[in-house]
Structure 1
């Protein structure tokens, strides 16, 4: 006999785990399906290569998911300054937390730590039925829900299936939702570097002719880098002798924190932007990378996913048995319109900075100088980057689950 749930969450990465935690804390019966048991975070290990710039809105969501206290006790770095420039000019855009009355602009945190703390929150509460390790074998939609078949032979019934199973989402393919994809033929080279002077908590980004280079501050004064470059250049630089790589990187970041003196292992991953044609099929909803994936120059990938999780939670809290389908349609329209705006905006920025020539460069530099002088424009940009703009979910803007539940 199939076990019945309000929501089945497929995919237990950062976004899926946050979704399961939020929904269970909001009083829903939740099942979480994940193919691989997440590794427990070990602070004795070297800093992971995959980190995220967690926004203020995402921090608020993680607090409501019960994960932030766990994260705060471990290594993370609040950054209070952000600088963006273009090759050929050290002047650019500067954002200071103090200037906008913020404690921090964001937080650089290892992906594994975020996922680990979310799972600890879920397991400690004991309110979510976890099916892990297990895989989705098939699904069957009905007017009133979805039946999920697992590789273990178990069958689950749920009123809603929330798919957060990544950019190559099995669920999305099963229900036949297409995606628009922009291929850049680029890779993001990632590593952890040591510089002569410790990074004082500045998120620093430079647009080079071959692609943007970002230095993100870590809690020990080192920096995590994401260096966007062509497929060929990335393959070459990943395997360069260390001394040659250090020389090239020092030049690329113009010794902003002095010479680069050491580098961890290096890795690279392909870059592309994706947006699903729609986020809803019957009672199946998409969120996170299953719905959209953005270029890392934006630093917004997982933040958009956390906004999805908050928005779906709020939409479901506002629904009853008779208005559930309407609530799901509201979620899909709400989040797709926002992520399309952000995704296309980031794609346009990528294309703008990819334009060669001195005239294009001059126009970009003038644009950055004008923006840098406008407090209002920078404040609007920060609100969007923080996930706290007017159309953002209430959870991202600091309301608690209890307050939202009380209003429904």
Structure 2
């Protein structure tokens, strides 16, 4: 098993060099960063992954993580090729086969069913900690990957030939290609001087786990409310994970409620589609933001995942976009190695940026438009959008295009995401 270093140990590692030199240094060992490192393993590269803390190894039976992801078919293929999907399935991946979306103000609705595409499901609901642990274990078994964890970054020094990452204990990790996979508030992006554009949504997403009176039918339910969308995501044990996006004022109200009052408000917001809902365990909330990096790459530097883009969670596309980023960057690195090019040069990195920036921009714009359209309860607009939902539901070719896009069944996917 690959050795994992503890940067906070009181006993210094006198055998380690002050400057450790790598071909690829990934800052952030979460889902996207770990996927990228694993995708680049076995290619003759020296790889380092810097992470603030290792994932949890276990948790009490019956406990469900507050953060879950709706993994697309493309993401499933990527994780399977990286050797992580079997472990994810064993730890818990619940398929959802249908989706029901309806508008609280106008009454329009649309329904999606995997069976209409000849697919077994529309995707899987998986706890984030499960995905990270499964990927982390693949990193530990990769002899060409060094895990530097726990570690904190205090400085980054970039030159034309390498980046030097200075850690809190004074150790320096140097690499030809530095990849920022350290999230929406990326320190690497900030220290590298890459600006972002976007805006705060003045909403928070409340997450919790609830027990419905009725079976969730392996269906993802989403109702658009004027204050923000509510999603009920089916879990394997019959519970649902909720993501309730609400204005700041409404979020304050909901978070201040006791469990009984919150459960009643949640049942009302879902129109009791699954009967009364009872919240189980804690609640948490996080602010929502539209954010896009003005550049994905610089010589010797690339941004992936939330470090490059932050999207509204209403369609659950955040981590799926990140996995596609990782797969495209890995493909660009593969091509550079094949043609004898520098993996840290702009020839390779701009191939990645061209492949992903357009698709990510389109997805961010689409989610932003949906958010703004459904957050307005003016009668004419409510009537128009509900009519649009209803018409789309009745036009099979348009519905099929939406479903294929969400599943990741397109022809322009990176190699890791293509059909196996």
Task: Give the TM-score, by structure 2 length.
Answer: 0.91
Aligned pair 1:44/2:61, yes or no?
yes
The aligned residue for residue 191 of structure 2 is 174
**Correspondent of 1:100 among 117, 122, 127:** 117
Please report how far the alpha carbon of residue 140 of structure 1 lies from its aligned counterpart in structure 2 after TM superposition.
Answer: 2.4
**Conserved? CA contact 1:79–1:106, under 8 Å:** yes
Please report how far the alpha carbon of residue 333 of structure 1 lies from its aligned counterpart in structure 2 after TM superposition.
Answer: 2.1
Separation in 2, partners of 1:214, 1:327:
39
SS for the counterpart of 1:20 is helix
**Conserved? CA contact 1:25–1:65, under 8 Å:** no
The aligned residue for residue 393 of structure 2 is 372
Runs ≥4 in structure 1, deviation > 6 angstroms?
A: none
**Conserved? CA contact 1:57–1:397, under 8 Å:** yes
Separation in 2, partners of 1:137, 1:242:
41
Larger mean CA deviation between 226-235 and 372-381 belongs to 372-381
Please report how far the alpha carbon of residue 222 of structure 1 lies from its aligned counterpart in structure 2 after TM superposition.
Answer: 0.8
Cα deviation 1:93-124 (Å, max 9, x = unaligned):
11111101111101111101110111111112
SS for the counterpart of 2:287 is strand
The aligned residue for residue 362 of structure 2 is 341
Separation in 1, partners of 2:42, 2:404:
27
Larger mean CA deviation between 307-316 and 177-186 belongs to 177-186
Separation in 2, partners of 1:182, 1:390:
32
**Conserved? CA contact 1:67–1:118, under 8 Å:** yes
**Conserved? CA contact 1:303–1:387, under 8 Å:** no
Separation in 2, partners of 1:373, 1:87:
19
Please report how far the alpha carbon of residue 156 of structure 1 lies from its aligned counterpart in structure 2 after TM superposition.
Answer: 2.6
The aligned residue for residue 21 of structure 1 is 38
Aligned CA RMSD, in angstroms, stands at 1.6
Please report how far the alpha carbon of residue 54 of structure 1 lies from its aligned counterpart in structure 2 after TM superposition.
Answer: 0.7
**Conserved? CA contact 2:106–2:383, under 8 Å:** no
Matches within 5 A, 1:5-404: 5-42=22-59, 44=61, 46-88=63-105, 91-320=108-337, 321-322=340-341, 324=343, 325=345, 326-399=347-420
Cα deviation 1:129-159 (Å, max 9, x = unaligned):
1111112232222323322222232223322
**Conserved? CA contact 1:307–1:387, under 8 Å:** no
**Conserved? CA contact 1:188–1:228, under 8 Å:** yes
Please report how far the alpha carbon of residue 25 of structure 1 lies from its aligned counterpart in structure 2 after TM superposition.
Answer: 4.0
Separation in 1, partners of 2:143, 2:395:
49
Please report how far the alpha carbon of residue 8 of structure 1 lies from its aligned counterpart in structure 2 after TM superposition.
Answer: 0.5
Separation in 1, partners of 2:360, 2:135:
24
Distance 1:54 1:41, change over 3 A: farther
Cα deviation 1:247-290 (Å, max 9, x = unaligned):
21111101111111343321111111110001012211000110
**Conserved? CA contact 2:163–2:300, under 8 Å:** yes
Count of aligned pairs between the two proteins: 399
Separation in 1, partners of 2:108, 2:83:
41
Separation in 2, partners of 1:266, 1:336:
34
Question: Unaligned 5+ residue runs, structure 2?
Answer: 1-16
Please report how far the alpha carbon of residue 323 of structure 1 lies from its aligned counterpart in structure 2 after TM superposition.
Answer: 5.2
Please report how far the alpha carbon of residue 374 of structure 1 lies from its aligned counterpart in structure 2 after TM superposition.
Answer: 2.2
Separation in 2, partners of 1:26, 1:89:
54
Please report how far the alpha carbon of residue 369 of structure 1 lies from its aligned counterpart in structure 2 after TM superposition.
Answer: 1.5
**Conserved? CA contact 1:43–1:75, under 8 Å:** no
